Chains A and B, each alone.
Chain A
Amino acid sequence: EVQLVESGGGLIQPGGSLRLSCAASGFSVSNNYMSWVRQAPGKGLEWVSVIYSGGSTYYADSVKGRFTISRDNSENTLYLQMNSLRAEDTAVYYCARIINYYHVGDYWGQGILVTVSS
């Protein structure tokens, strides 16, 4: 059974750093495209970042230079390192497996809340 479980969220002050984890089971993160998508409270969905099976990475302009997506193949885990956090980064963060070619998320984690506030 495919499962994605996020962890690492919480309350952080503006300017701080946080690393989110997404533990995968039932498939290999290294063989798939994996993404982070966020949702601010009461708002819609926003794509954040993707890592290709080959290792290439891409970011939304809103997080470029501050966030880094990575994976640990041995742990079968996806990460999102978030630095220089701002109030507008407050959101529920979802990891998602992306279907190659069709570029849609077929499996999603339950989401983890990140709150940036002093």
Chain B
Amino acid sequence: EIVLTQSPATLSLSPGERATLSCRASQSVSSYLAWYQQKPGQAPRLLIFDASNRATGIPARFSGSGSGTDFTLTISSLEPEDFAVYYCQQRSNWPRITFGGGTKVEIK
């Protein structure tokens, strides 16, 4: 099983600040990594697929980068609606996809 480790567990930032979230894979997943946003009581929302491709309707302030084992989700300037939990997901050994443990972005 490919294990995804996200860091930090919690990120405390103010609106307007830049958020940098990390996802590290236990083995190479090439560029087959996605990012989701989840707000309390809601389903996950797809943000990024294949490391750097924004999903339909996702604002340009969200960007993804990385390949192999190290990936980053960057939110260039936090909006109030961006405070949420973010998960990474690999599809390298589809159909056995796995998710990271999540990073909570909270208001400082």
Contacts and interface: CB of A to CB of B under 8 A. Distances in A.
A45 B87 CA distance: 8
A110 B38 CA distance: 12
Counting chain A CB atoms within 10 Å of each CB, the highest count among B49, B89, B97 belongs to: B97
Contacts of B42: 110
A27 to B, nearest CB: 14
Interface string B8-41: 0000000000000000000000001010100000
Counting chain B CB atoms within 10 Å of each CB, the highest count among A58, A96, A102 belongs to: A102
Nearest to A33: B95
Contacts of B98: 47
Given A44-B99, A46-B99, A94 B46 contact: no
B52 to A, nearest CB: 12
B101 interface: yes
Interface residues of B, number: 24
A102 B46 CA distance: 12
Nearest to B91: A103
A110 B43 contact: yes
Contacts of A111: 43
Interface in A61-116: 94, 96, 99, 102-106, 108-111
The secondary structure that dominates the B interface is: loop
B50 interface: yes
- What 6 A-B pairs have minimum CB-CB distances, sorted nearest first? A108-B43, A103-B91, A45-B99, A58-B95, A104-B34, A104-B49
Given A47-B98, A103-B97, 6 more contacts: A45-B87, A47-B97, A104-B34, A104-B46, A106-B46, A108-B43
Interface of B: 32, 34, 36, 42-46, 49-50, 55-56, 87, 89, 91, 94-102
20 contacts: A44-B99, A44-B102, A45-B87, A47-B98, A47-B99, A50-B95, A58-B95, A58-B96, A60-B96, A102-B49, A103-B94, A104-B49, A104-B89, A105-B44, A105-B46, A108-B43, A108-B44, A109-B43, A110-B43, A111-B43
